[in-house]
A and B are shown apart, each in its own frame.
Chain A
Amino acid sequence: MSTTTAPTTAPPLGASAADDGASRRSAGVVRPRLSMPTRQRLITLLFLGPAIAYMALFFGYPLVKNIIMGFQDYTISTFFTGEAPWVGWSNYVAVITGPLFGTALMNTIIFTIGSIAGQFLLGLGLALFFRRRFPLAGVLRSLLLLPWLIPLIVASAVWKWLLDTETGALNRLLMNTGIVDSGIPWLSSPDLALFTVIMVNIWIGIPFNAVILHGGLQGIPEELYEAASIDGASRWHAFRHITWPMLRPVVSVVLVLGVVYTLKVLDVILGLTGGGPANATQILSTQAYQLSFTTFDFGQGAAVSNMLIVLALLFAVIYLRLNRRAVDE
């Protein structure tokens, strides 16, 4: 599109940004003007400058600062003395050889894969279900969004109580119906807690997956299915040979966004378990938080979050490549 607008945008861009109205109206031509490229650059700066400055300060600076902090002994005393001695890789060595890192990394992988798989499969199921036309489908579909729109910490608070061993509604339901004899320690058993936080995270992520996939399904032309059914294709065949291939670009976007989001999230775990019991739900992002903000070892916290960035960027690259391919198609 830039090629089509360029010739037409260029001459008006020549008018300077600051004096829009009055001066042009008076004569327009006599006034000495800045050279065109200069004026164009000024206008670009006016429109894009603030955004670039913000991005540099709130994404660029933290990124660079974090990388540097990872090599520094940056603790609470740094705030008083201003000294953060350079320690090379020792933050990374301390973190990786520490007792928690292996658990946190493993939990991150299980948490991410479990959450994504659950959200995606249930979201896809719902998207396919709501694709059909029946009364109230629209209303129900928008109500479905609620779990995704409420603040994560609200969802955590509600679930924390629902899952409470003694007073939680879930255990009461299970006990009243005689399925279990005593309350299940959903969040307080080290064996169960990770499974439970994955379930809650799936609940939060279902709406997003369902809505995006539903949008993708809408883009598949109905005629394809009509043709397939004339050819005698079963529903499974129609799904395998029409729906799935046509939905592929949307699927990749949903999956990668899901991974990136799951790697970053820490509201759910901090709200539900705080990483416990006995670090059973500790993931890299909660570990980074605790190193920096509860033990005030910002250097080690930065080291963990830098590893998180590498993971996230890895997926970002995949996302951009898939995105480009999706656009090309």
Chain B
Amino acid sequence: MKTVKHPLLHTVLGVLILAVLLFPIYWMINASLQPGGATVDTGWFPLEPDLAGYRTALAEQGDNLLTSLTVALGSVVLSLAIAVPAAYALARFRIRWANWVLFAVLISQMIPGIVISNALYSAYADLGLLNSIPGLILADSSAGIPFAILICRALMESLPDAVVEAAMVDGAGPVRAFVAVVLPISRNALITAGLFTFLFTWSDFLFALTLTTTEEVRPVTLGIYNYLGAYVADWSSVMATAVLASIPAVVLLLIAQKYVAAGATGGAVK
């Protein structure tokens, strides 16, 4: 990394670039704080912040936010429970066909979601999984599970052999060595995988759109979409919902920056 001649000039330029790029996000927050209804001339600044938009948003979308939260947490648990042992086996067991599994995992990431929901819709209709939280958790994990396998396998492959062997020598079986030794030292990969699985599921729109048909089980992404379908008279409550739906992203960025970067590069270049 090189130090530049005019560092402050760069900072100013950087701030300007970010200001332009992040203007939509500023606008979302600004609009969410405006008094409802006044759409024609929304002020450029929320000089008199009004929480009416949030009150409407919570009244109309509160249940949907809870649905999203439940589905996202469920998907994190399911994805980690399925993906982490698999990642370990792929990284450390001597399995001749391990590369084929890995190949399938990579390929699975290329399959468009519409293909999955097209086929799942009829299967779910037969199984009674439409409009159900378990149905959404299962479908949404199709983003988290391959990602978690790739991220965790990459880390577990790089674990020092000595650590795992020491546990084995102490008489632990492979299951106990995995639980007591491998899981704790893989913490970073688990957190990264968990955070991204949460974000994938929280942001899911396609499965929410295709696998739910009633209002009973409706993630917040679909709630926002339904706002957009009609003529929007009150943007402040739509934007307030949008802000609430963005909170996980912001939290992720604030508390887990290093995991985010690791996840971004890990998922792609792996």
Residues of A within 8 A of B (CB): 1-2, 4-6, 8-13, 15-17, 20-21, 24-25, 43-44, 46-48, 50-52, 54-55, 58-59, 61-63, 65-66, 69, 74, 78-79, 126, 129-137, 140, 142-147, 149-162, 166-167, 169, 203, 206, 208, 211-212, 215-216, 218, 222, 225, 250, 253-254, 257, 260, 263-264, 266-267, 270-271, 274, 285, 288-289, 292-293, 298, 301-302, 305-306, 308-309, 312-313, 315-316, 319-320, 323, 326
Measured in the bound complex, the distance between the Cα atoms of B205 and A106 in whole Å is 25
Beta-carbon contact of A158 and B92 below 8 Å: no
Nearest CB in chain B: distance from A205 CB, A: 12
Count of residues in B whose CB is under 8 Å from the partner chain: 109
Q: Which residues of B contact A21 (CB under 8 A)?
A: 176
Beta-carbon contact of B111 and A146 below 8 Å: no
Measured in the bound complex, the distance between the Cα atoms of B45 and A109 in whole Å is 40
**Which single member of A65, A133, A263, A312 contacts B3 (CB below 8 Å)?**
A133
Measured in the bound complex, the distance between the Cα atoms of B239 and A160 in whole Å is 11
Stretch at the interface among B53-61, B167-175, B183-191: B167-175
In the complex, which residues 73-128 of chain B have their Cβ closer than 8 Å to any Cβ of chain A? 81-83, 85-86, 88-90, 92-95, 98, 101, 103-116, 118-123, 125
Measured in the bound complex, the distance between the Cα atoms of B92 and A260 in whole Å is 30
Q: Which residues of B contact A161 (CB under 8 A)?
A: 27, 31, 232, 235, 238-239
Contact pattern, B 231-270, Cβ under 8 Å of A = 1, otherwise 0 = 0100100110010011001101100010011001100110
Q: Give chain B's interface secondary structure class.
A: helix
Q: Which residues of A contact B173 (CB under 8 A)?
A: 12, 15-17, 20, 24
Beta-carbon contact of A167 and B8 below 8 Å: no
Measured in the bound complex, the distance between the Cα atoms of B201 and A248 in whole Å is 32
Q: Which residues of B contact A2 (CB under 8 A)?
A: 94, 98
Beta-carbon contact of A8 and B168 below 8 Å: yes
Beta-carbon contact of A293 and B3 below 8 Å: no
A-B residue pairs, 5 tightest by C-beta: A51-B86, A149-B249, A62-B119, A151-B203, A47-B89
Nearest CB in chain A: distance from B103 CB, A: 8
**Which single member of A47, A156, A285 contacts B85 (CB below 8 Å)?**
A47
Nearest CB in chain A: distance from B178 CB, A: 8
Asked, given contacts A20-B175, A62-B119, A267-B206, whether A132 binds B4 with beta carbons under 8 Å apart, the answer is yes
20 contacts between A and B (CB under 8 A): A2-B98, A12-B172, A15-B174, A43-B175, A47-B89, A48-B89, A48-B101, A52-B101, A133-B2, A136-B15, A147-B24, A151-B249, A154-B246, A157-B238, A167-B39, A212-B268, A260-B110, A270-B209, A313-B110, A315-B110
Q: Which residues of A contact B235 (CB under 8 A)?
A: 161, 167
Nearest CB in chain A: distance from B70 CB, A: 16
